[in-house]
Amino acid sequence: MTKINLAINALKLFISRNLSQFKIKGTMQENITRVSYLYSYNNENDNVKISNILSETIGQIHPVRLKKTDINEIEGIKILSDMLKKNKFSQFEQQLLLGIIWFSEALSIYDHSEKYLPNESTNYKTDDFIFFKFSEMTTKLFTSLESILIVKEGEPIRENLSERIAILLQDNYDERIKLKKKIKNLYDNRSKIIHSGDFFISKNEFYELLGINRNVLIKLVKLNNKYEFKNMIDLETYFNKIKYDN
């Protein structure tokens, strides 16, 4: 069962988010229909009326049928498939799988009303609760990134995380600097969620972080296939070599 769960989590790394709402039958809650009413208030005549009604099914269980064209990275999924056949994982592979599990958990959160959300904050923290699902997914995505890119306790997480992501995803120096700055800004949003209780993260920022997380994990899957990292220290050595050789 553990290997099956790992395989399901790994599969979600290579398909689009809208196809990722599945788990093993029996591990999802029963179908529940939830209805949300959006009210509008008219200051002039003091009238309140329903402006929109949203209905969603929670915990919907249905067969998932994926076509070959639904899988974005055939090479990556073959590498992970071979890795999951091993009887024992290296310390690095265990961390890599943890990162994939956290990524998958972020994808398992889905808000059917997100297409109705505005692109800007409401400017009131309590009203920003409508962005709660995005903030919840953001914390899980950063947990995924930290679990596979932060090697030692006491590291400067914001600095090292942003730098290592930039090294993995960009070859050009200027592009690395630009991406590093972007990751730091996203991480600051994550810190506001965790430490200040803020809810807001824009849809654009969320989808950008989602793509970054996915690309980092796929890149690490391929790098591990090439270099066979035994542990996280091997990964740190890889980053230092690129950083100082350049």
pLDDT category of residue 40 using cuts at 50, 70 and 90: low
User: Around Cβ 126, how many Cβ atoms within 10 Å?
Assistant: 8
pLDDT at residue number 120: 72
pLDDT: is 24 or 240 the higher one? 240
User: If DSSP codes are grouped into helix, strand and coil, which group holds residue 128?
Assistant: helix
pLDDT at residue number 25: 60
pLDDT tens figures, 149-201: 999 999 999 999 999 999 999 999 999 999 999 999 999 989 988 888 887 78
pLDDT tens figures, 47-68: 666 556 666 665 555 566 677 7
pLDDT at residue number 53: 62
pLDDT at residue number 234: 97
Residue range 60-77: mean pLDDT, rounded: 71
Dist. CA 179–CA 137, nearest whole Å: 21
Strand runs labelled E in 8-126: 32-42, 47-58
pLDDT: is 234 or 77 the higher one? 234
Q: Report whether 93 contacts 224 (CB < 8 A).
A: yes
pLDDT at residue number 32: 62
1-5, 39-43, 232-236: segment of lowest average pLDDT: 39-43
pLDDT: is 227 or 39 the higher one? 227
Alpha carbon 24 to its chain centroid, in Å, reads 20
pLDDT at residue number 134: 85
| pLDDT of 1 above 60 | no
7: its two tokens: 């395989």
Residue range 131-148: mean pLDDT, rounded: 92
List C-alpha distances in Å: 56 to 6, 151, 196. Answer: 28, 41, 30
Dist. CA 178–CA 173, nearest whole Å: 9
Q: In sequence order, which ranges of the chain are alpha helices (DSSP H)?
A: 2-11, 74-84, 91-107, 132-149, 157-169, 173-196, 203-227, 232-245
Place of tokens 């542990």: 231
Domain positions in the chain are 2-22+70-245, 29-63
pLDDT tens figures, 85-137: 999 999 999 999 999 999 999 988 776 667 767 777 777 666 677 778 888 89
Dist. CA 50–CA 78, nearest whole Å: 51
| pLDDT of 141 above 60 | yes
